[in-house]
């Protein structure tokens, strides 16, 4: 027994939580092992529209002009990823190596930041949670995807770490770093702008009166940086004063979700919704004249001829407008984009107004859509509207980002061919083809496990998060009311530690869920980005759950002892 | 030891020499032309130690050949308090503060040792605060929690000095020139050879490098009551530079020879936990090597494709209907180049629809790197269905085009 106990202690000392440095080293080592496996043997994926950032990078260094160009279908691109392309040296090397190395390094650093963010409150849980997160592949899942997702997740995690530092120390320095890190998130995607205004009130509330001055300065830094950035990107894109100042078209983005889901919720477009919707339908009608099949604007519609013939060309102009209004789908959305306005800024304005008109008349529809998408992203992600189909939202597209179905399928890993030939050759190279069989077997085993357990794990994570949220709610309620029974409850639910540890994670997670729910569809790609946050929140939830379970077992044992005692039996043990 | 030796020595003293000290603390009061302040300084020391109450102590005063009447003042003080344990030595030549510091340690017999400047610059409260922590660690390191009363120049210089010593020694202390408390034995055994003001930093770095425990104690700023400090003279700069060099050299020597620590630098935990710095360095090297290896292997694979891999030379969709030649070459090439076999998924969303009403042909021509054979694949109209797989391989499935065969590169 002693030998066995010694063996167990030995094993625990090697794999269990230890000192901070030792924990960090083991987490990094595991992350590096997994990261390098996929760096060497995984495919590079090039997302559609990824080359927009190279164009932006060229414009930054003055080698190209973006005036008159439409990036991302008029929604524009943010500059952060373009800066990473510059840092990676792509403009000189014409290779993906630099940018992938940066993204993999981000993936290796993320678990360390997660660990450090949780450790002050839950040292052991921080270790196990981070190990679980690393094993889930979440930090490196998008590291070989050529797009802005990995840097966005990385800077989100950096912001979370800095935010948690502030929750721990309330030092003003953390506030300033937070404003800079959230600005970096903002540079990757515009969602970062809103993020700052979510985190700021929490900092103000937690930091107390003595930090008000610093909060004001940090806010000023953030606003100033954003203002300068907006001006810069406007100049870079060659926009005039009347055009959209930033790079993102909120109207185009919002209208996509509101329109494509409308028929599923029984909402149809009609002139009575408002002048902008009426304008859309009118322009669509004019665009379809004399008939969709003979219309110049609708001619040569991309995609299978069968779909175009059945759903566009066989109708009259009136019939097509009616179909667009009542049977919303992704293809009809592109029809609207094609017909309503030629200039992105005008299109964006019309679509934004139309979205607001629909929301005004059907507020419940917007609420239902928002809730449905939010729940899907939290518990059952991967829902989308497909192209060249009139089918409603369906679930699909769970593709292992390091290359699904290599050897058989093609093209899935390159969605944008505007890169240099050298880079495209790197992306089309499939490393696994040249590896020994055991490497391929290991790769596909991991792939299979990941694919099989992705959904069950997502559901479990979503459920565990509720423990954190309930504990947070109890703690906040207790602070607000000061009721004695709430003090007892919140103490059992560990609220005093759960609140500072998880409030930042919850804020970041829910903000991203809300943005996706309202502006885009709950695709797997967005869920991959939120997986790290979900795991962290679930880790805190597990601590709460175990604490409650431990107490429940203790109570049960006490009850049993009392029962035995009252029945007159001697107490054993 | 032999019985004869045992008459002179105790076994416990041989293991822990500092245990032999009969007093708790030796306070060394340095004096150089301090006739105005020395009496008050001595009063402060006595009052501070009396306030603690539980410490047995002695005071050692060394007058470093003062030109004023400091010696007379001290003698009078000794006469005034004959029952106090005060030892006074007067140097006939000026030896310097660092020299006297070590001499005082040899003269004293307390377990702990602390220096107090004779210019009454340290308030009683600060001394009390430091002495209260006696015994909590081998070394007590006071540092200034506030910088009130100090000029920006002094503050900047002080911070720069601390940062420099931290950088060279690898330590993270808040201040090096406070009036530390050491085990007296350590001052004698590991005393610094420097003569300048850097001796405190030197001693501290040496002792911490040997694994002695320490505790930092925040105290309020003390400033000289008279005259200017000679710490900023050129001579002292040279001396401090020498000390800094010694600190760096010692660190490198310790690192090279992996010795010099009489007490383990860190205790507890399993082997990798104790050597985490080495592991971190190894991981950093492995990471850099890994990235280099990956980049090298990827580039080699691109530049030297394996035998029997596809090289797409032409790909056109709808050329028979007026579309440009090789209008889809990039797509097919990005999907299939460098692979042994490839099933190109026909996706009209990506490839476009150059002539909607015309029955288009989808022509792909590719070359196999092995054997130099060129295959041509021609798909007759009608155009492929959406998502239909068009196979390409280098296993001879393609039709060999006469006259197009070329030798391998």
B96 and B38, same domain (yes or no): yes
A303:B386 CB<8 A: yes
B337:A428 CB<8 A: yes
B317 and B290, same domain (yes or no): no
Of A22, A28, A301, nearest to B283 by CB-CB distance is A28
Residue B21, phi then psi, degrees to nearest 5: -70, 125
**Who wins on pLDDT, B60 or B177?**
B60
Residues of B in contact with A28 (CB under 8 A): 283
Instruction: List the structure tokens of B99.
Output: 């020299």
Q: How far is A429 from chain B (nearest CA, A)?
A: 6
Residue B345, phi then psi, degrees to nearest 5: -85, 120
pLDDT of amino acid B226: 58
The residue of chain B with its CA nearest to that of A12 is B270
DSSP letter for A199, please. H
Residues of A in contact with B340 (CB under 8 A): 433
Residue B265 forms part of a structural domain: yes
* 3-state SS string for B170-217: CCCCCCCCCCCEEEHHHHHHCCCCCCCCCHHHHHHHHHHHCCCCEEEE
Residue A61, phi then psi, degrees to nearest 5: -85, 0
pLDDT of amino acid B325: 84
Q: Is B63 helix (H, G, I), strand (E, B) or coil?
A: strand
pLDDT of amino acid B395: 62
Residue A111, phi then psi, degrees to nearest 5: -60, -35
Share of residues in chain B with pLDDT > 70 (%): 81
Surface of B (305-344) touching A: CB under 8 A? 306, 330-331, 333-344
A433:B333 CB<8 A: no
B64 and B145, same domain (yes or no): yes
Mean pLDDT for A215-224 is 91
The residue of chain A with its CA nearest to that of B328 is A417
B295 and B334, same domain (yes or no): no
B171 and B248, same domain (yes or no): no
Highest-pLDDT range among A268-282, A383-397, B320-334: A268-282
pLDDT interval class at A150 (50, 70, 90): very high
The domain boundary, picked from B219, B251, B282, lies at B219
pLDDT of amino acid B258: 57
**A453 — contact with chain B (CB < 8 Å)?**
no
CA distance A275 to B389: 47
B45 and B121, same domain (yes or no): yes
pLDDT interval class at A506 (50, 70, 90): very high
CA distance A145 to A135: 19
B211 and B276, same domain (yes or no): no
Residue B229 forms part of a structural domain: no
Name which of A311, A407, A411, A436 to mutate to probe chain B: the one with the most chain B Cβ atoms within 10 A of its Cβ.
A411
Residue B354 forms part of a structural domain: yes
B287:A108 CB<8 A: yes
Least confident stretch, B4-8, B95-99, B141-145: B4-8
A304:B385 CB<8 A: yes
Residues of B in contact with A408 (CB under 8 A): 343
B117 and B63, same domain (yes or no): yes
Residues of B in contact with A411 (CB under 8 A): 331, 334-335, 344-345, 347, 350
B194 and B324, same domain (yes or no): no
Residues of B in contact with A387 (CB under 8 A): 349
Least confident stretch, A119-133, A315-329, A456-470, B336-350: B336-350
The domain boundary, picked from B282, B303, B324, lies at B303
pLDDT interval class at B304 (50, 70, 90): confident
pLDDT of amino acid B312: 82
**Lateral strand order in the sheet of B362-368:** B310-317, B362-368, B374-379, B399-400
Instruction: List the structure tokens of A491.
Output: 């103490």
Mean pLDDT for A19-27 is 90
Highest-pLDDT range among A564-568, B18-22, B84-88, B367-371: B84-88
**Who wins on pLDDT, A228 or B385?**
A228
The domain boundary, picked from B175, B196, B219, lies at B219
Residue B228 forms part of a structural domain: no
- Dihedral angle over CA of B335, B336, B337, B339, nearest 10: 130
Name the domain count of chain B.
3
pLDDT interval class at A181 (50, 70, 90): very high
Interacting residues of B360 by C-beta distance below 8 A, sequence separation 6+: B317, B318, B320, B321, B323, B354, B381, B382, B383
DSSP letter for B136, please. S
Residue A367: pLDDT above 90? yes
Percent helix, strand, coil in chain B, to 5, is 40, 20, 40
Of A22, A101, A305, nearest to B273 by CB-CB distance is A22
Residue B118 forms part of a structural domain: yes
pLDDT of amino acid A346: 81
Complete DSSP assignment for A73-109: GGT---SHHHHHHHHHTHHHH--SHHHHHHHHHHHHH
What mean pLDDT is reported for chain A? 86
**B359 — contact with chain A (CB < 8 Å)?**
no
The residue of chain A with its CA nearest to that of B287 is A32
Q: How far is A478 from chain B (nearest CA, A)?
A: 37
CA distance A35 to A278: 52
pLDDT in tens, A48-105: 888 888 888 888 888 666 666 656 655 567 889 999 999 999 999 999 999 999 999 9
> Which of A279, A252, A272 is CA-nearest to residue A358?
A272
Name which of B276, B284, B285 to mutate to probe chain A: the one with the most chain A Cβ atoms within 10 A of its Cβ.
B276
CA distance B361 to B376: 14
B343:A410 CB<8 A: yes
CA distance A338 to A284: 9
A308:B356 CB<8 A: yes
**Who wins on pLDDT, B95 or A534?**
A534
**Who wins on pLDDT, A208 or B73?**
B73
Residue A443: pLDDT above 70? yes
Least confident stretch, A303-317, B5-19, B85-99: B5-19
Mean pLDDT for B284-302 is 91
Residue ranges making up the domain that contains B369: 311-407
B293 and B322, same domain (yes or no): no
Predicted ipTM?
0.85
Q: Would the pTM of this model clear 0.90, i.e. be above it?
A: no
B140 and B258, same domain (yes or no): no
The residue of chain A with its CA nearest to that of B283 is A29
Share of residues in chain A with pLDDT > 90 (%): 43
pLDDT of amino acid A570: 54
Share of residues in chain A with pLDDT > 70 (%): 92
Mean pLDDT for A555-573 is 74
Residue B9 forms part of a structural domain: yes
Residue B96, phi then psi, degrees to nearest 5: 100, 155
pLDDT of amino acid B182: 92
B283:A425 CB<8 A: no
B295 and B316, same domain (yes or no): no
pLDDT of amino acid A243: 42
The residue of chain A with its CA nearest to that of B306 is A434
Least confident stretch, B126-130, B242-246, B368-372: B368-372
pLDDT interval class at A345 (50, 70, 90): confident
pLDDT interval class at B261 (50, 70, 90): very low
Residue B376: pLDDT above 80? no
Residues of B in contact with A25 (CB under 8 A): 272, 276, 279-280, 283
The residue of chain A with its CA nearest to that of B299 is A426
């Amino acid at each position: 027994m002693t030998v066995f106990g010694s063996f167990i202690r030995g094993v625990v000392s090697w794999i269990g939580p230890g000192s901070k440095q030792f924990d960090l080293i083991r987490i990094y080592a595991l992350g590096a092992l997994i990261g390098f496996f996929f760096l060497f043997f995984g495919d590079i994926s090039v997302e559609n529209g990824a080359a927009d950032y190279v164009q932006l990078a060229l414009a930054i260094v003055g080698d190209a002009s973006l005036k008159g160009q439409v990036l991302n279908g008029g929604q524009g691109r943010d500059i952060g990823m373009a800066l990473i392309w510059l840092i990676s040296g792509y403009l000189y090397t014409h290779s993906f190596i630099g940018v992938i190395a940066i993204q993999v390094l981000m993936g290796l650093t993320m678990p360390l930041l997660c660990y450090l963010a949780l450790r002050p409150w839950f040292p052991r849980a921080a270790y196990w949670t981070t190990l679980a997160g690393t094993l889930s592949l979440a930090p490196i899942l998008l590291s070989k995807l050529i797009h802005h997702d990995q840097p966005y997740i990385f800077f989100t995690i950096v912001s979370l770490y800095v935010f948690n530092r502030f929750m721990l120390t309330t030092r003003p320095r953390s506030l300033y770093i937070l404003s800079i890190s959230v600005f970096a998130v903002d540079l990757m995607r515009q969602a970062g702008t809103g993020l700052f205004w979510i985190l700021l009130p929490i900092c103000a509330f937690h930091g107390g009166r003595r930090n008000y001055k610093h909060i004001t300065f940090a806010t000023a830094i953030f606003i100033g940086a954003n203002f300068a950035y907006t001006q810069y990107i406007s100049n870079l894109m060659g926009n005039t004063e009347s055009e959209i100042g930033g790079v993102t078209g909120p109207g185009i983005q919002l209208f996509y979700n509101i329109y494509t889901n409308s028929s599923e919720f029984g909402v149809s477009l009609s002139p009575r919704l408002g002048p902008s919707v009426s304008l859309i339908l009118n322009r669509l009608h004019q665009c379809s004249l004399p008939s969709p099949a003979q219309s110049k604007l609708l001619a040569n519609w991309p995609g299978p001829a069968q779909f175009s013939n059945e759903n566009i060309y066989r109708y009259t102009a009136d019939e097509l407008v009616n179909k667009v209004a009542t049977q919303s789908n992704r293809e009809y959305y592109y029809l609207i984009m094609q017909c309503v306005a030629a200039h992105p800024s005008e299109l964006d304005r019309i679509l934004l107004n139309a979205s607001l008109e629909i929301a005004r008349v059907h507020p419940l529809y917007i609420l239902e859509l928002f809730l449905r998408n939010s729940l899907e992203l939290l518990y059952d992600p991967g829902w989308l509207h497909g192209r060249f189909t009139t089918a409603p939202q369906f679930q699909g597209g769970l593709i292992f980002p390091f290359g699904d179905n290599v050897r058989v399928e093609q093209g899935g890993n390159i969605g944008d061919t505007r890169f240099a030939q050298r880079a495209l050759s790197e992306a089309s190279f499939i490393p696994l083809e040249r590896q020994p069989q055991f490497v391929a077997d290991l790769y596909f085993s991991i792939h299979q496990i990941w694919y099989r357990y992705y959904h069950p794990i997502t559901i479990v994570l979503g459920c565990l998060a509720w423990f954190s949220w309930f504990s947070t709610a109890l703690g906040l309620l207790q602070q607000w009311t000061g009721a004695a029974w709430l003090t007892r409850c919140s103490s059992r639910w560990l609220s005093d530690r759960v609140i500072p540890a998880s409030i930042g994670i919850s804020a970041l997670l829910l903000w991203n869920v809300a943005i996706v729910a309202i502006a885009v569809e709950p695709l797997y790609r967005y869920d991959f980005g939120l997986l790290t946050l979900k795991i962290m929140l679930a880790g805190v939830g597990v601590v709460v759950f175990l604490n409650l379970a431990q107490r429940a077992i203790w109570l049960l044992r006490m009850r049993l002892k009392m029962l035995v005692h009252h029945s007159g039996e001697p107490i054993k043990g | 030891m032999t019985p004869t030796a045992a008459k002179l020595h105790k076994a416990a003293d041989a293991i822990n020499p500092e245990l032999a000290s009969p007093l708790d603390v030796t306070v060394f009061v340095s004096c150089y032309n301090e006739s105005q302040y020395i009496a008050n300084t001595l009063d402060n020391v006595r009052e501070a130690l009396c306030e603690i109450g539980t410490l047995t102590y002695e005071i050692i005063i060394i007058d470093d050949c003062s030109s004023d009447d400091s010696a007379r003042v001290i003698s009078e003080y000794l006469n005034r308090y004959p029952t106090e344990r005060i030892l006074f030595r007067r140097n006939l030549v000026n030896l310097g503060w660092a020299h006297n510091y070590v001499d005082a340690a040899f003269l004293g017999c307390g377990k702990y040792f602390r220096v107090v400047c004779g210019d009454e610059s340290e308030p009683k409260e600060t001394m009390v605060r430091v002495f209260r922590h006696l015994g909590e660690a081998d070394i007590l390191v006071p540092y200034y929690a506030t910088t009130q009363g100090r000029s920006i120049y002094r503050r900047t210089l002080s911070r720069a000095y601390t940062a420099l010593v931290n950088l060279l020694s690898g330590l993270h202390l808040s201040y090096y020139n406070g009036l530390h408390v050491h085990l007296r034995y350590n001052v004698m055994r590991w005393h610094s050879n420097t003569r300048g003001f850097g001796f405190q930093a030197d001693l501290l770095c040496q002792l911490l490098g040997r694994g002695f425990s320490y505790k930092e104690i925040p105290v309020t700023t003390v400033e000289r009551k008279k005259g200017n400090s000679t710490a900023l003279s050129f001579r002292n700069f040279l001396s401090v530079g020498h000390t800094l060099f010694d600190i760096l050299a010692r660190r490198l020597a310790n690192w090279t020879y992996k010795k010099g620590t009489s007490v383990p630098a860190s205790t507890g935990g399993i082997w990798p936990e104790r050597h985490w710095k080495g592991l971190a360095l190894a991981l950093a090297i492995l990471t850099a090597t890994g990235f280099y290896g990956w980049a090298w292997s990827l580039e080699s694979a691109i530049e030297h494709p394996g035998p029997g891999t596809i090289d797409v030379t032409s790909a056109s969709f709808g050329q028979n209907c007026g579309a440009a030649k090789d209008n889809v070459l990039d797509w097919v090439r990005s999907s299939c180049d460098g692979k042994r076999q490839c099933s190109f998924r026909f996706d009209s969303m990506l490839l476009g629809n150059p002539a909607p009403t015309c029955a288009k042909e989808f022509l792909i021509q590719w070359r196999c790197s092995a054997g130099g054979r060129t295959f041509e694949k021609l798909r007759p109209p009608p155009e492929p269905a959406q998502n239909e797989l068009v196979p390409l391989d280098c296993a001879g499935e393609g039709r060999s085009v006469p006259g197009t065969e070329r030798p391998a590169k």
